[in-house]
Amino acid sequence: MNIMDYYLWIVVFHIMAVLSWMAMLFYQPRLYVYHTEHKNKPDFVEVVKIQEYKMYKYIGLPAMWATVISGLWMLFLRPELLQDDIWMYAKILVVIVLMVYSFSLEYYRVQLERDNYSKSGNFFRAYNEVPTVLSLLIVGYVITKTFSFVFTFITLAIGAFVIYRVIKQIPKEA
């Protein structure tokens, strides 16, 4: 047997890693909302800090690196994926943006852990929508195996509108 016989198992591992990483990307900002909006309840905040730490360090970060490594492994085994169309390059670019987003969650986690933060629950509610928009782009590129400026623009525009509506719907904090 050669390594290509295991390619589909690498794909399975990649998909599971992506699901785990996305779970953290979707839930971590929600923990930050709870943290900031209940700052006057120190016992509650201490529990949330533990959840934030474990979610990021034990689930999100390893899953992100497993996603990247398995994705690179798939590209190594099937370099023709980089020659089909620019969709793979667009996907890689969005994955890099998701990685930056992921690292930004760690930045905010550390600020919250040190009780040295200025962002509000409203900010984190809106920030929570970013991975949804980016994952829509990735899934669209992967399923259609094409890159479309129209699809990309419409997805980003709808995402920006949703984030704007989230911000506008939430009453201002005192």
What letter represents residue 169's amino acid? Q
Q: What are phi and psi of 132, to 5 degrees?
A: -65, -45
Half-sphere exposure (CA, 13 Å, Cβ side) for 155?
20
Q: In sequence order, what are the residues at sequence separation of 6 or more whose Cβ sits closer than 8 angstroms to the Cβ of residue 61?
A: 102, 106
Do the annotations mark residue 91 as ligand-binding? yes
**CB contact at 8 A, 74 and 7:** yes
- Residue ranges for the binding site? 14, 91
- Residue ranges for the binding site for heme? 14, 91
